[in-house]
Chains A and B, each alone.
Chain A
Amino acid sequence: MTATELGDGSTAQHMAELDAQTKPSRDLAVEIDQVTYSYPDGTEALGGVTLDIPRGEVVSIVGPSGCGKSTLLYLLSGLAEPTAGELRLNLDRNGARLPLSMVFQKDTLLPWKNVRQNVNLYFQLKRIKNSGLTERVDHLLDMAGLSEFDRAYPHQLSGGMRRRVAFLAGVAPHPEALLLDEPFSALDEPTRVGIHQDVLRIIREEGMTAILVTHDLAEAISMSDEVILFTARPATVARSFRIPFPRERDVTKIREEPEFLRLYGELWRALQEQIRGGRSAN
């Protein structure tokens, strides 16, 4: 059984109960067990990934480019099925929260909808109307600094603002887990760092579990509770790094702290090792 079969509530619940008996210590939102994935052409993207994502944490995945980081998010979102192994999503199934949503690397804004309508996309697709919705969207727009632009159309926005809107559209349905597939990679660094603070604050406030795939090590460290380093393709988990900064943090300030720089150096060397390892293996 794979937990990507989101409709199969009873079995999933049963599995969750079993897990609760065997691993009572940690509350895990996502359990990835020996997951492999091969593309239809036979290329092996994931070669047995085992990874636990604790509930309410932000976990970043970094690794050599093209190593299959994004593929893992596609499996988690249910857009593809693992070739082998098990994915367990211990996410809400009684409908109070959307289990998960995803923020894509490429633009997903609908150009004929203004900012507010784009943030509202989920509710519009599902024809959900309730009284608190406008206030909720107002609050989100305010936290992302987009209040004045709620009637603007995507083509009138800067690249950074478009990314903020795409992020809010993923957050608005109040998902339990948020998958972030290199959502800020197309932005210049000052814009990117500016977004990080707001994104982290909203993730914490919404109580979401977030999985961030990125190639920016500084972004991974400043946003996460844990950073997972993947090997070159076919990817497995090479190492994980616990990030010692508090849950509420100033992402601009911590960039200058010695601990940040030390972690950055360690992560950088470990990544270089994986890139070299991947080359010699090929």
Chain B
Amino acid sequence: MHRRVETIGLRVVEQLSLLAVILLLWQYLPEIGFLSHRFHFMDPFFISSPSRVYSTLIDLATGRHGSILVWSYARRTVESALIGTAIGIASGGLAGLLLSQGPYLSRLFQPLLLVLNAIPRVALIPIFVIIFGPTAKASEAVAISVVFFVVFFVALEGARSVPSQILQNAQILGASGFQTMRQVRLPYAVAWVFAVLPNAVAFGLLSVVTAEVFTGTVGMGRLLLISSSTVNASLTFAVVAILGVIALVFTIAAEALKRRVLHWWV
């Protein structure tokens, strides 16, 4: 036990050291004139530096130096991602469960769904913008269109993965089709959906940011748009860092929820 704690402690120290080395290289390599002249991307103008990114982050958080305040942007992105992901999970899960019921429905819908899934969802953004305008609704619609398919195929697979003897057992015990769906197939589908929850959440966030870049609506995507139009590398890296933290919190929360719900999963 003591030894295990030591090993984990050592690993954390190693990981932090690696991070420190990367940050130091990022900070000081571009200061070497030879390198930044010879290699374009080594110029701090393009690659920024940890200290510049840090200062931009403080600007964004406090609004000093006339900077944009990041909070309302971050909140909008988080809200859109959560709403889009939730609706995508619910609708995808329900559709997967329904199509698992019989060969008729799945044969009817499967080709359509396969084609829709193969379409790069970015291509659908203009349609959502036409329908909803450049609003948060458009971002949410894009997230739904992505998460729906991630979850749909998993729920379908999960509901179909019920071992045949369990279905036969329910049949012998006199369960109706609806009872079997609610009490046997649904829990299997839900379990599989929860297993991909961290992925679904990550896809939801990605979709919302992509839509925001496209539409320029308030959100982290708009900050990225601003950073590229003002050629501000530090702002780009600051936004990337904030999105990283958001994604990390999302994933950790989804992972914790998954573990809690699927405690019986071996």
Q: What residues of chain A have their CB less than 8 Å away from a CB belonging to chain B?
A: 77-79, 98, 100-102, 104-108, 110-112, 121-122, 124-126, 153-155, 173
CB distance from A144 to the nearest CB of B (A): 18
* A112 with B165, Cβ < 8 A, contacts A101-B173, A125-B170 known: no
Q: What are 23 A-B contacts with C-beta separation under 8 Å?
A: A77-B172, A78-B172, A79-B168, A100-B172, A101-B172, A102-B169, A105-B165, A106-B165, A108-B163, A108-B166, A108-B169, A110-B187, A111-B264, A111-B266, A112-B191, A121-B173, A124-B183, A125-B173, A125-B180, A125-B183, A126-B173, A154-B264, A155-B265
Distance, CA A210 to CA B56, complexed state (A): 77
CB distance from A41 to the nearest CB of B (A): 18
Query: Are A153 and B179 neighbours in the complex by a CB distance under 8 Å?
Result: no
Let me know if B20 is at the binding interface, CB within 8 A.
no
Residue in chain A with minimal CB distance to B168: A79
Q: What residues of chain B have their CB less than 8 Å away from a CB belonging to chain A?
A: 163, 165-166, 168-175, 179-180, 183-184, 187, 191, 263-266
Secondary structure at the B interface, as helix, strand, loop or mixed, is: helix
Residues in B neighbouring A126, C-beta threshold 8 A: 173-175, 179
Most buried by B among A111, A122, A125, A153: A125
Residues in A neighbouring B187, C-beta threshold 8 A: 110, 112
Residues in A neighbouring B265, C-beta threshold 8 A: 111, 155
Residues in A neighbouring B264, C-beta threshold 8 A: 111-112, 153-155
Residues in A neighbouring B166, C-beta threshold 8 A: 108, 110
For the A-B complex with A79-B168, A126-B173, A126-B174 known, give 9 more contacts whose Cβ atoms are closer than 8 Å.
Answer: A101-B173, A102-B169, A106-B165, A107-B165, A110-B187, A111-B264, A112-B187, A124-B183, A173-B173
Query: Are A79 and B266 neighbours in the complex by a CB distance under 8 Å?
Result: no
Query: Are B163 and A106 neighbours in the complex by a CB distance under 8 Å?
Result: yes
Residue in chain B with minimal CB distance to A77: B172
Residues in B neighbouring A154, C-beta threshold 8 A: 264
* A155 with B175, Cβ < 8 A, contacts A110-B187, A112-B187 known: no
* The residue from B172, B180, B183 contacting A102, defined by CB atoms under 8 A apart: B172
Distance, CA A102 to CA B171, complexed state (A): 10
CB distance from B224 to the nearest CB of A (A): 42
Residues in B neighbouring A173, C-beta threshold 8 A: 173
Query: Are A104 and B183 neighbours in the complex by a CB distance under 8 Å?
Result: no
Query: Are A104 and B168 neighbours in the complex by a CB distance under 8 Å?
Result: yes
CB distance from B28 to the nearest CB of A (A): 52
Residue in chain A with minimal CB distance to B176: A125
Residues in B neighbouring A100, C-beta threshold 8 A: 172
Query: Are A110 and B184 neighbours in the complex by a CB distance under 8 Å?
Result: yes
CB distance from B194 to the nearest CB of A (A): 11
Residues in A neighbouring B191, C-beta threshold 8 A: 112
Residue in chain B with minimal CB distance to A170: B169
Residues in A neighbouring B179, C-beta threshold 8 A: 125-126
Query: Are B165 and A108 neighbours in the complex by a CB distance under 8 Å?
Result: yes
Query: Are B163 and A155 neighbours in the complex by a CB distance under 8 Å?
Result: no
CB distance from A179 to the nearest CB of B (A): 8
Most buried by A among B168, B172, B183: B172
Distance, CA A100 to CA B174, complexed state (A): 10
Query: Are B165 and A104 neighbours in the complex by a CB distance under 8 Å?
Result: yes
Residues in A neighbouring B163, C-beta threshold 8 A: 106-108
CB distance from A209 to the nearest CB of B (A): 15
Residues in B neighbouring A112, C-beta threshold 8 A: 187, 191, 264
Query: Are B175 and A125 neighbours in the complex by a CB distance under 8 Å?
Result: yes
Query: Are B266 and A98 neighbours in the complex by a CB distance under 8 Å?
Result: no
CB distance from B95 to the nearest CB of A (A): 22
